[in-house]
Structure 1
Amino acid sequence: MPKTFYQFLMTQRNPESYDPVATFANNAFLDSAFPKQETEFDELSKYLEENASYLPSMTVFDDAWRLYQDFLA
């Protein structure tokens, strides 16, 4: 079974990094409502747009999603 987006994102965590994807991962880790089992772009995007005030731009999610897709390929 492939990793969920959240599982992949957690591999990007790095509290010492200023990389936007790492910062996103660090903050998603602290978000207890993050949809951890979700694998669909649209559902994740909707959640983040409505609930993730810690995400400065949806471009960061888009970049993380591309990394996730490359990981799954």
Structure 2
Amino acid sequence: MKRSFYAYLMTLRNPESVEPDAEFANNAFHDQSFPKQEQDYDKISDYLELNAGYLPSMTIFDEIYQKYKDVDRK
């Protein structure tokens, strides 16, 4: 079974980092409503646009989602 985007995102967590990827992962970890089982780009994107004030730019999500898809293909 393919892992969720959230499971992939959690591999990027690093509380000591100020890198955008790590900050997004750290903040998503604390977001109790994050769609943890979701794999679909549009559903996650919609959620983030409406609920994730901690994400300064959707470009960060787009780039991480692309990495998620690339890793999944290997």
Indicate the residue corresponding to 1:70 in structure 2.
Answer: 70
Equivalent residues in 2 for 1:1-73 (5 A)? Answer: 1-73=1-73
Query: Identity percentage over the alignment?
Result: 58
Gaps of 5+ in 1: none
Secondary structure (helix, strand or coil) at the match of 1:62 reads helix
User: Which moves more between the two structures, 62-71 or 21-30?
Assistant: 62-71
In the TM superposition, residue 15 of structure 1 has moved relative to its aligned partner by 0.7
Gaps of 5+ in 2: none
Matched letter for residue 53 of structure 1: G
TM-score (norm 1): 0.97
Q: Distance in 1 between matches of 2:16 and 2:71?
A: 23
TM-score (norm 2): 0.96
Matched letter for residue 20 of structure 1: P
For these two proteins, the number of residue pairs brought into alignment is 73
Pairwise CA RMSD: 0.5
Matched letter for residue 18 of structure 1: V
Runs ≥4 in structure 1, deviation > 4 angstroms? none
Secondary structure (helix, strand or coil) at the match of 1:37 reads coil
